[in-house]
Amino acid sequence: MKKLLILVIITLSACASQPKPSLISQPERLYSERELLSILESRNRAVNSIEGKLSSRITMAGENRSATELILIKKPLHLRMDIISPFGSPLLTMATDGEDINLQYHAKNRFFSGKAGEPNMAAILSPSLNMGELVLILTGGIPLIKFDESKSETTWEEEGYRLILKNETARQDILFDAKGLYPLTSAIYDVQERALLYLTMGNYKGVEGFDFPSSIGLSMPLENYEMKVKYSRVSLNEDLELESFNLAPPEGISVEGLEGLSF
């Protein structure tokens, strides 16, 4: 009886030590680099405009700025942000068509105007991120590096499909959700494998038949820049008039230059 008990214990121990099979199995089919690129390019074109409300947090050089904003976006370069108080009153309005930028400080009754470039956009943009890229990211798109398609590759792993794009100076690594085939992360590295830009897209929700990421994160580690956005309300592809992005100074207020402005 004692020998039988020992045998049972040994058998049970051997069974317990066997590795458990993975819950993630190989998909029925693997997508090629061209197929994943086509999916990504189609998503990048799918949203032409946004009208919504979001909360944002921008960290630059260790300094944090948080805000609640009403936002209008019209591709390729039009952007309007109305920063509002907890009671819904306007605090600051910024509007740009990609060439000029106008800003109104409602509380201080001041109006600023200038060109939409460095250094005037430095308060909301990283120096190496242009307005077109920001608009694309805020509409749920992924900016792509110029790449050599012959060096592209796709792999399958536990997290999903990974698409890797390369050129002589950079590599871009894009992770797609296994089931929805929407992008979850995108990272760009230089030849020294330093992260230049890292994007996260999450909390996807069906909006008018499109899987839209309600949470978007952007990080540029070498520039100590981070931006996190969370949409609480969003409408896609509304017919937004360009007049919505024209911001004129109220009567009697002088126009000041944007140079050196920090907000």
In a domain, 28, yes or no: no
Beta bridge partner(s), residue 223: none
In a domain, 123, yes or no: yes
In a domain, 62, yes or no: yes
> Based on the structure, what is the number of domains in the chain?
1
pLDDT tens digit sequence for 160-180: 999 999 999 999 999 999 989
Residue pair 263/123 in contact by the 8 Å Cβ criterion: yes
pLDDT tens digit sequence for 123-148: 567 777 888 999 999 999 999 999 98
Q: Residue 78: which domain range?
A: 33-236
In a domain, 167, yes or no: yes
**pLDDT at residue 8 is higher than 50:** no
pLDDT tens digit sequence for 197-237: 999 999 999 999 999 999 999 999 998 999 999 999 999 99
For all residues of the chain together, what is the average pLDDT?
86
Q: What is the CATH number of the domain that holds 174?
A: 2.50.20.10
Residue pair 137/143 in contact by the 8 Å Cβ criterion: yes
Q: Which residues of 99-122 are buried (b: 16+ CB within 10 A; e: fewer)?
A: ebbbbbbbeeeebbbbebeeebbe
In a domain, 83, yes or no: yes
d(CA 27, CA 245): 46
Instruction: Give the model's pLDDT for residue 152.
Output: 87
In a domain, 13, yes or no: no
The reported pTM is 0.84
